[in-house]
Amino acid sequence: MSKLRLVFSLPFLFSSVVWSGYLESDQDVLIPQEWAHVDRVGPTEELELTFALKQQNVHLLEEKLRLVSDPDSVQYGKHLSLEEVASLVRPSDLTEKVVHRWLQSHGITNCLTVRTQDFLQCTMTAETAERLLPGSRFHRYMRDGHYLVRSSAPYSVPDDVHHHLDFVGGLHRLPPKGLDLSKKQKSKAGFHLGVTPAVLRTRYNLTSADVGSVQNNSQAVAQFLEQYYHPADLAEFMAMFGGGFQHRSEVDRVVGTQGGGKAGIEASLDVEYIMSTGANISTWVFTNPGRHESQEPFLLWMILLSNMTDLPWVHTISYGDDEDSLSAAYMTRINTEFMKAGIRGISLLFASGDSGAGCRHLGKENTFRPSFPASSPYVTTVGGTSFKNPYKVTYEVTDSISGGGFSNIFKMPDYQTTAVNSYLKTVAASLPPKSYFNTSGRAYPDMAALSDNYWVVSNRVPVPWVSGTSASTPVVGGMLSLINDQRFMKGLPALGFLNPRLYKLNGKALFDVTEGCHYGCLDEQVQGQGFCAAPSWDPVTGWGTPNYPALLAVLLSD
């Protein structure tokens, strides 16, 4: 994957500099206690910062995405190429000139851009970065043996530049702590069915013939937080659990750099279950590319999507952070990146999280705590379920960890207003107090799958009792890849951004989950309970779990 290198040669025209307010936050940056301070970064140490340039025609991009994703539109399925996306959103000439001159005035010339021209990745010394972004102070932090460089204070940029940037990456955001996917192991001791590819195929009605067959289909998982899979684990997993269907035992392409050391449960789970559900389909793994202490792995993955003309059609991502820990400017820009992917026909699936409704403590008041990107209106968010009877394949109920709720930042998109408002009206008497959630926000998840007690092979050892929406998400992703496979055989386009079509199904072709609640705040008002499942859509399991042959049938219509 090549990037376009820029060498700035524009004259610097500023004669006076007026400093603006802070670009992303006017609060001191809070470094979580789990990150131990190591030292102040030396002035000559190199950093890599990412500059998100303001894009053009974002509203037009959103409207075009709506049209190509709405099955009732004559534009449905008429996705754009990366070149067409670039011509739509690339920054104005003025934006490019202003930002380039600003960087050049500080001697910064070692920059890479992307095909859409809306990101710059620049290398500079810490001393230069702190002059460029007054207020920033770079320090090194460590967690679990991993080091990161971040600024402990907010930064500012000149007024001239402020209006041409969305944010600067590599200063503030710290990766969220990885989830303990086996955290429920103690409570599940003793004999249990466990979830394997055969169990999933039985529950969701996939046969041995439901495997991929076309050449132009592919799927991907993206891994962050120093998570890596081992090819030997994948081969052993398929030898143990893949005997009933045609499958592949190797990843076709790794984008980025696979780290050494032990395999991660998260990474092993993602790869093994997207490849056993979306069986016999070419699979890619996006992993931490060329680690640098000042990089943000999730942001780098988003930038890769803006720079690759050929990408897998389905991506599943088990990654998220609390909405309130991120700036609105950052999340809004990431939403635009999601739109750029959707309009190209790419389906992005995110895990809904493993904290139920979450809980944020604000003095004497508590509120639920939504997660991002799960709360983005431009991705398909996947929640989790458990078997009603854990000893055999039965119907499903809510998994109490399944993330879900209502965004505090993004308004409810039109495609879901009818379904969500119906839920709010139907269960009004049993809802948590209105002070706990935003009834007008984007509601999630959109659908769900089993998330409880998976078998995974990691470091050549079969591991039971692995649980979380990190499991359900690649399972749904694999099924969407199989549906894409059948669509391609009929000459139809990829599913792309699924939500507008999913909500128009009104629950058709999914198993409705109507029992159980997920976790909420542990206080007198809600007593540890968040939202509860209900008929049709709900903010715990969405529309429910896939009945694969029925879902294939309704999504094969043009």
Per-residue pLDDT band for 290 (boundaries 50, 70, 90) equals: very low
Known catalytic residue: 282?
no
Say if residue 405's pLDDT is above 60. yes
Contact indicator for 352, 404 with CB cutoff of 8 Å: yes
Say if residue 558's pLDDT is above 80. no
Return the closest-CA partner of residue 60 out of 98, 87, 78, 83.
Answer: 87
Residue 182 confidence (pLDDT): 47
Catalytic annotation, pick one of 266, 337, 396, 452: 266
Catalytic annotation, pick one of 48, 96, 270, 485: 270
DSSP-derived pairing of the beta strands 282-286 and 253-255: parallel
Known catalytic residue: 266?
yes
**DSSP string of 494-541, one letter each residue:** P--S-HHHHHHTTTTTEE---S-EEE---STTTTTEEEE--SS-BTTT
When pLDDT is averaged across residues 22-41 and rounded to a whole number, the result is 68
- Domains of the chain, each with CATH number or no CATH: 23-55+90-169 (no CATH), 197-556 (3.40.50.200)
Q: What pTM did the predictor assign?
A: 0.92
Q: Which among 5-14, 188-197, 263-272, 466-475 has the top mean pLDDT?
A: 466-475
Contact indicator for 261, 288 with CB cutoff of 8 Å: no
226: left (phi over 0), alpha (psi -120 to 50) or beta: left
pLDDT in tens, 220-261: 999 876 678 999 999 999 999 999 999 999 999 999 877 777
Across 9-13, 146-150, 321-325, 351-355, least confident range: 9-13
* Helix/strand/coil percentages in the chain, nearest 5: 30, 25, 50
Residue 174 confidence (pLDDT): 66
Catalytic annotation, pick one of 371, 400, 467, 470: 470
**DSSP string of 457-477, one letter each residue:** EETTEEEEEE-SHHHHHHHHH
Residue 17 confidence (pLDDT): 33
Residue 183 confidence (pLDDT): 44
Known catalytic residue: 270?
yes
Contact indicator for 396, 204 with CB cutoff of 8 Å: no
pLDDT in tens, 112-131: 999 999 999 999 999 999 99
Contact indicator for 473, 351 with CB cutoff of 8 Å: yes
Across 107-121, 276-290, 346-360, least confident range: 276-290
Percent of the chain with pLDDT over 90: 74
pLDDT in tens, 62-102: 999 999 999 999 999 999 999 999 999 999 999 999 999 99
